[in-house]
Structure 1
């Protein structure tokens, strides 16, 4: 009897051990909203408080040439979630912030959530959506098992109302149903929801799309952080307080992983969706593009070259930097390779960065696959191509300072030699202009 009991215990332990070995890593995709190119300590800012964002770089790999999929919210999110250039994914510009309004990621597109769900993951959207405000385009219809957040471009972080276009309207939804949490600080609501989801699903693989409403306007940093930064020049003080409030909640999210001993079993990605805002609603600035020209809405580097970090302790290098080009569309194939899940059977524009992550000397997958951006459609569309060191922009503007706001029909720069894009080389290199224009037309023109 003891022998059989011992065998039963052995097979029980073996089954548990096998399951643990086969359990796929969890994935948390943290997306900041309007965070500037260098607005974290690990990217060089010495006037902000970002210890938890920085910890991801300490425990992971930080890209110095990481690009978002667009310089504005909705296309950027569509590209990151589908692995496809946003215009190809059906989101050429911002989607409506009004229920039933126009513009959305088509339901036919396959999202990262659908990819993970097909592989047995439990999936959650927490935070901002802004890529569809109809029942068939909201998160539950795009691969998410659970959703809590706002469907439009932004909300007041206490009332959860959208105040910036038309009549003021409430925008907070749980699983497609409107809910009311008036007075509850939205960054804290997000952190609480994420922690509860992790607690509930910690024994099986999960995917969380943690899309923050920060540091997008309205700047609503907490009182303690406003006091902490009171001697910082306006509007940087407001922005810095909001960033610190954001960072504190990221710390709470990471603490939940640590409490459940999940940090080494969880891949965490961090990026910003586009450059910092210089809109009047954002006090005309507050963020920082560092050495790069431009900000939100601009195809100059400051609009699209942003923080991009991936952390998976014990599995990927830690505390390392990669200078190779990387793009938000790369996350889907990169995560598929790291987790061993099947990629969707569709054309992807992103390329896996796994070789680069594991070896700092590996060639960028974009050495042979140029990067493309486009916002809008038709002749007036803003677009850019980067092939090697050369980058060509069409129909963009410098949004970093209200006084600059110059429009450029075409702008050519060698990013290796001139990362600040100070000199337009179109007249000196018409052959390169023609070549990059042709690349754009072959890739994205109808």
Structure 2
């Protein structure tokens, strides 16, 4: 009998491990591309159709001082996926949209996918990548079991070609191999792929990085939505139609979870990677920053202060709002705490938001931990620091479409008193400028 007990105990442990893994919640990280600060109904928009995005706020926590990791695509994604300031994670600029070339997220950086895979999750990348275009920096080498999408910065949603830095080239890949889906609307392809993945792995924990190519240019909303918004002023009409097409696919994703009775066992996070674009290829606008100054590429609030929502019905508060500061780098430690998985053994700049999410009166995880941003390297790099109410910006531009691309060497604002950053207080408070500059110099290595 004594000899049988150790054997029985060993069997119990062997069978208990997968049971414990199967009890872990699924995670879906939805990342929008160039969606403006207020461009959803739950953020105050009255002229957009976003019922499914809004439903995440109804069944979750919506943050009003949520910041992306950067005002431009690749650094923003690197920060969100690693929990580290992008410049520390090795991605200070946009990565190449050409196969085999350019900078990338270093292969030794540990991604959210690697964290979940180590905990027994099946992992999928669906959509945009834009942080590596070589075999050792594409999704399968960064912790993903499955990948479908484009490796560069954007594609035409029907031909799946990259047309913005010649020669024109096809960019659609499944598990590291080029595939062709001529004419298939990319937002629908993403929704279909996600649905199939969820169907296949619904009985075990999964992590999906659902990185949309919307509403990034080219604005390619469907005909029914273009007709719906035909009376809206250009270029808002094009942007609105694309947002509605995006929202419809989010609805399909949520419907799949509901069909399989997975909503209460699935954590969904939603954010935009940076502010809306005012580039010529984006018709010089279409999105909105609301009361905030700046847009994509800018360190002003409109470039980095964006929609941020987390939903886990039955486990996190529902229909609540948090005004405390939070940051995309916070997702990794937050999700690790919520799911009970082990954090990677590396320096993280993010802080868990769990206490703040559960308690409206809790302090921001960055109450005593300043926020940092930097794009580029060297003395002309654009950077910003936010410590408490004060935010200092260096070497940035106001990229709102009516701002004339005005440049600023230093700009200091009290965000609580002046969230629109209308008045530069740098000359009035040289002591605060010096203090925040020192924080930047000590934290960020050029």
Relative to the length of structure 2, the TM-score reads 0.96
- 1:24-54 deviation line (CA, Å, top 9, x unaligned): 0000000000000000000000000000000
SS in 2 for 1:331: helix
Residue aligning to 1:88: 88
Residue aligning to 1:65: 65
Residue aligning to 2:393: 393
SS in 2 for 1:365: coil
Residue aligning to 1:246: 246
In structure 2, what is the Cα distance between the partners aligned to 1:291 and 1:403? 14
Residue aligning to 1:322: 322
Residue aligning to 1:371: 371
Q: Does 1:101 align with 2:101?
A: yes
In structure 2, what is the Cα distance between the partners aligned to 1:154 and 1:390? 35
Q: How far is 1:128 from its partner?
A: 0.1
Q: How far is 1:20 from its partner?
A: 7.6
In structure 2, what is the Cα distance between the partners aligned to 1:358 and 1:345? 26
Residue aligning to 2:225: 225
Contact 2:22 2:205 in 1 (8 A): no
SS in 2 for 1:102: coil
Contact 1:284 1:402 in 2 (8 A): no
Contact 2:22 2:204 in 1 (8 A): no
In structure 1, what is the Cα distance between the partners aligned to 2:71 and 2:203? 38
In structure 2, what is the Cα distance between the partners aligned to 1:41 and 1:70? 24
Residue aligning to 1:76: 76
In structure 2, what is the Cα distance between the partners aligned to 1:322 and 1:184? 39
SS in 1 for 2:408: strand
Q: Does 1:268 align with 2:268?
A: yes
In structure 1, what is the Cα distance between the partners aligned to 2:144 and 2:378? 33
Contact 2:217 2:281 in 1 (8 A): yes
* Distance 1:105-1:20 versus aligned 2 partners, 3 A rule: closer
Contact 2:385 2:392 in 1 (8 A): yes
Q: Equivalent residues in 2 for 1:282-297 (5 A)?
A: 282-297=282-297
Contact 1:113 1:207 in 2 (8 A): yes
Contact 2:329 2:349 in 1 (8 A): yes
Contact 1:278 1:402 in 2 (8 A): no
* Distance 1:21-1:169 versus aligned 2 partners, 3 A rule: closer
In structure 2, what is the Cα distance between the partners aligned to 1:340 and 1:409? 44
Residue aligning to 1:171: 171
- 1:351-385 deviation line (CA, Å, top 9, x unaligned): 00000000000011100100000000000100000
Q: How far is 1:21 from its partner?
A: 9.3
Residue aligning to 2:121: 121
Contact 1:80 1:328 in 2 (8 A): yes
Q: Does 1:414 align with 2:431?
A: no
Q: How far is 1:23 from its partner?
A: 1.0
Structure 2 unaligned regions, length at least 5: 1-14
Matched residue pairs, number? 434
In structure 2, what is the Cα distance between the partners aligned to 1:403 and 1:166? 30
Relative to the length of structure 1, the TM-score reads 0.96
